[in-house]
Each structure stands twice: as structure tokens, then as C-alpha cells.
Amino acid sequence: MAGPSFETTTFVLLRHGETVLTGQRRFSGSGGSDPALSERGRWQAARAADALAARGDISAVVSSPLRRCQETAAASAELLGLDVSLDAGLRETDFGIWDGLTSAEVRARFPDEMAGWLASPTAAPPGGESFGAVSERVALARDGLLAAHAGRTVLLVSHVTPIKTLVRLALGAPDEALFRMHLDPAALSAVAYFGDGRTSLRSYNDTGHLRG
């Protein structure tokens, strides 16, 4: 009988670049207008692509199906000479009727719903998705990607909530940790998964490639 695999699989996590909604700090989930990258977002995607090409170890590119991620992923895939695969498990939270609104607007119009959402991972925006539901689908996507890419380094292009969720799960942190992490547009993070079940956060919210 074969023994256990002790291969290390690394997920390099790239948040998409800015859209017109990013600077306005509006909810932008998987159920809204699906905005494209802004001019600055395209610049950020290109800088991230340069940094990822310099690593020399990316063997696959997987993206959320939302447009802003596909455009960000395409910039890296082109430099790396790889195709982009889509995984719906990496899409952003569905914020329901809050999509397109600012936090201040949501607090003013839906104060009770907002308070409940911030207090419990099982609470969802009206017509939307709870953080608990997001965590379940992200974990399923993670497990599938680990099985498909064992022992390799894979670029995952996703959004704030799924990336924070992957980091939270890797650290064994509680649900409320999502509200205690900041993630910039086009920031890079990395998580290593070992064959014996251990995980290690290698980097988080690296934006060095966007400076200068």
C-alpha cells in the first residue's frame, strides 16, 4: 500500500485590480453589475503579472468567473504562457440588494440587517449570501484544486472574501477574523498546503510590485 503524500502545494492568491466601484468603496459582489477593471486596475494587473512571472514557479492559473478577475488573470496568464481555468467557488460573496451601495448607505437603509450580518456568519444580506455559505463553497473549491494540482504552485485570482477565507481557514482562525484583515486591490498572498494536512501562511497583502 502506498504511503501518505507529503507533497507541498502552494496557492498564490491575487486579488483582482481596481474597478470603478473600488475607489468608491461600494459593495461589489457576484450578483451585481460585474464591472470591468478600471485603467488603474489594468495597470495593477500588469504589475502583478510581472511579479508573478519573476517567480518562475507558477504552473496553472485559476480565476473567479467574474469579469474583473478574468481580466486580471489574463494579464498574468499571457506572460506565463498558460491558459486560465475558471472556478465558480472563487467568486465573491453575493451581497444581494446591497450590491452597488456604500457601507454608509447600507447602514442608513438597512441598520438591523447590517448589524446582524456583522454579528453572525450565518446572517446574509437581503437576497444575498452569508459568510458561512461563502466559507463552505470556498473550502470545497480549495479541496478540489488541491486534488487537481497536488505538489504544484497555482495562481488563484479571486476577491476579498474568498482570499480572506482561504487565509482564515489556513490559520484556523474564527469567522470574525474576516473583519480584522485588510486586503488591497492586486495584492499577493500565498498559502502552502502540506501532504500531512498542515498549512502555512507564507505571505499576505504584498503590494511591493505596485510601488515605484
The pTM of the full predicted model, rounded to 2 decimals, is 0.95
Decide if 182 is catalytic.
no
Cβ atoms 137, 89 nearer than 8 A: yes
pLDDT tens-digit series, residues 90-113: 999 999 999 999 999 999 999 999
- pLDDT above 70 covers a percentage of the chain that reads 97
How far apart CA 6 and CA 51 sit, in angstroms, is 28
**For the segment 28-75, what is each residue's pLDDT rounded down to a tens digit?**
999 878 999 999 999 999 999 999 999 999 999 999 999 999 999 999
| pLDDT given for residue 212 in this prediction | 67
Residue 2 reports pLDDT greater than 70: no
Quickly list DSSP for 18-39: -BTTTTTTB---SSS--PPB-H
**pLDDT score of 117:** 93
Task: Provide the residue ranges of all domains of the chain, joining segments of one domain with +.
Answer: 8-210
CA distance 183 to 115: 22
Q: Higher-confidence residue: 193 or 5?
A: 193
Indicate which residue of 7, 18, 71, 92 is catalytic: 92
pLDDT in the model for residue 1: 42
Helix (H) or strand (E) holding 71: helix 67-80
Q: Is 159 a catalytic residue?
A: no
**Taking the CB of residue 198, how many other CB atoms lie within 10 A of it?**
11
Task: Report helix angle 131-148 to 160-171, nearest 10.
Answer: 70
Indicate if the pLDDT at residue 5 is higher than 90.
no
* 8-210: CATH, from 3.40.190.10, 3.40.1260.10, 3.40.50.1240, 3.90.400.10: 3.40.50.1240
